Amino acid sequence: MKIPKLQLYTKILIGLILGIIVGIVANQLKITPFFSTYIKPFGTAFIRLISMVVVPLVFASLFVGTASLNDIRKLGRIGGKTIGYYLCTTAIAIIIGLLLANIFKPGSGLTKATQDQLLANYSAEAQTKIDTALKKPGIAETLIDIIPTNPIRSLAEGEMLQIIFFALILGIAITLLPQEKGAPVIKFFDGVNEAMIKLVHIIMEFAPYGVFALIATIIGEFGLGILGPLFKYSIIVIVGLFLHIAITYTLALKILAKGRIKLRRFYRGIRPAQLIAFSSSSSSATLPVTMECVEENVGVSKEISSFVLPLGATINMDGTALYQGVASVFIAQVFGMDLTLGQQLTIVLMATLASIGAAGVPGVGMITLTMVLKQIGIPLEGIALILGVDRILDMCRTIVNITGDATCAAIVAFSEGQLHEPGQEVF
């Protein structure tokens, strides 16, 4: 009998499920040191491999995309739609988080003993996060910083917003040159772009093993028991994330794309990227996979995806913003503070700004949360309460972050007449 070849997606899923099972067993048997030494490196290698592609891919694809657009007004239009969509969905995400936290009051059920224990266990780690956050520049400075003084350094350091800025204006500049001067440069970067995509395909063959190693180590280290005292809080975040996908994105796709995007095909198409987001907790590292899925499986043109997605991976984090809404109210409730409507609106504003300023890497949402808390006067040490479950929630919110980017790409592509019949499914 001929055994049918498994699709790569199915293999990744198997890797994920096996990882969870093995992780739970390892946690129970207390053999995690073995995992950290021998299994974790496979996961780390996988993350490094996909991260390796991010900077050249983003630069080359964005530059080629802008240069071939040949029209600055079109760029402004696409940019406006993209940023508008990102801001609106982020605000909706936080409102969902705030509503759930106000209705279900996760912070009021925590006993005094549990509170003290959590605060004691995690206070040192919380202090490090607070210190990192306080060192972060303010909003105005963050905006000015988008202009790189040395683009090569930004490329070397992987500073995404700066890279995006440079690629965009260089792309515009090249369209103003005579054809014979500009064409070879565009051709060169187009080749680089294609090579990067090929590289993503090769690296993805390794994904099932990488995902297995990542998940087994994380679950092995933290165990599922960690959710215990923070169960209600964690469930509220997860339910909120689910609702945001099920309601906000689904309605946005239905209404804004006038039913042209088949929901099943869309969600099926981006599943591989969601799995990688879940296991890597990084929307930046997932970016090359998101781009491939959105182009090949959903049918979004390269021109749109190479603009909307890198921008989204950096500035659009609905999952993170939703979690910050729940976390702020949770911590306030534990400290017995009643947040006024004004304070909750401040959370919406601050969390939206925080999600723009944050890079798509693991755990960053927790750091920018301190910005939000500080603004409203909630004790910063409160993050010690939720640090224990942060990793698991980070995995879930990263799925939402990349799903939001993908919905935006599909909707903008539809509105620009750049949504094609998807080709053969990749991954």
- Which residues of this protein are in contact with ligand ASP, per CB under 6 A? 281-283, 317, 320, 360-365, 394, 397-398, 401
Question: Least separation, in Å, of the C-beta of 218 and ligand ASP?
Answer: 13
Question: Least separation, in Å, of the C-beta of 139 and ligand ASP?
Answer: 18
- The count of other CB atoms within 10 Å of the CB of residue 91 is 16
CA-to-CA dists, residue 235 to 103, 238, 297, angstroms: 13, 5, 31
Distance CA 166, CA 119 (A): 44
CA-to-CA dists, residue 324 to 183, 233, 361, 385, 401, angstroms: 46, 12, 16, 14, 13
Amino acid at 16: L
Token pair, residue 75, equals 């760029």
Q: Residue 300: beta bridge partners?
A: 419
Question: Least separation, in Å, of the C-beta of 96 and ligand ASP?
Answer: 16
Of the pair 282, 328, the CB lying nearest ligand ASP is at: 282
Distance CA 305, CA 81 (A): 13
Of the pair 151, 365, the CB lying nearest ligand ASP is at: 365
Of the pair 162, 281, the CB lying nearest ligand ASP is at: 281
Question: Least separation, in Å, of the C-beta of 14 and ligand ASP?
Answer: 24
Closest residue by Cα to residue 350 from 366, 331, 365, 371: 371
Tell me if 192 sits within 8 A of 62, measured CB to CB.
Answer: no
Q: Residue 419: beta bridge partners?
A: 300
Distance CA 407, CA 391 (A): 25
Of the pair 301, 401, the CB lying nearest ligand ASP is at: 401
Question: Least separation, in Å, of the C-beta of 160 and ligand ASP?
Answer: 11
Question: Least separation, in Å, of the C-beta of 237 and ligand ASP?
Answer: 11
Q: How many residues does the chain have?
A: 427
Q: Which residue is nearest to ligand ASP (CB)?
A: 365
Question: Least separation, in Å, of the C-beta of 416 and ligand ASP?
Answer: 26
Of the pair 162, 401, the CB lying nearest ligand ASP is at: 401
- The count of other CB atoms within 10 Å of the CB of residue 70 is 11
Of the pair 279, 344, the CB lying nearest ligand ASP is at: 279
Of the pair 306, 368, the CB lying nearest ligand ASP is at: 368
